[in-house]
Amino acid sequence: MIVGQIHQNERGRFEIDNYELTSGDCIEVLIYDGQDNTVKWIDTRIEHNGSDYYLVGLLGFSPIGLFGRIDN
């Protein structure tokens, strides 16, 4: 399992610990849930909208700087 902070590499793709993510890749991200005041891992996947990559179901959350984990 790879765990680390998500950043955007020079190709514009998200990356965790030198592992490049692209469309269709499943990932869990650690987010704060303000409704029940907890931090939890959320299942999502990487997709591309024609101009940038994003996390499915988490529009409004920038993945950059979030902690993510993936099975590889």
Tell me the domains of the chain and their CATH numbers: 2-70 (2.40.10.390)
Residue 45 Ramachandran class (φ > 0 left, ψ -120 to 50 alpha, else beta): beta
The structure's pTM equals 0.81
Quote the CA–CA distance of 31 and 22 in Å, as a whole number.
Answer: 20
Return all residues near 42 (Cβ < 8 A) that are at least 6 apart.
Answer: 28, 29, 30, 31, 57, 58
Whether the Cβ atoms of residue 67 and residue 42 lie closer than 8 Å to each other: no
Query: pLDDT for 30-69, tens place per residue?
Result: 998 888 999 999 999 998 888 888 899 887 777 899 999 9
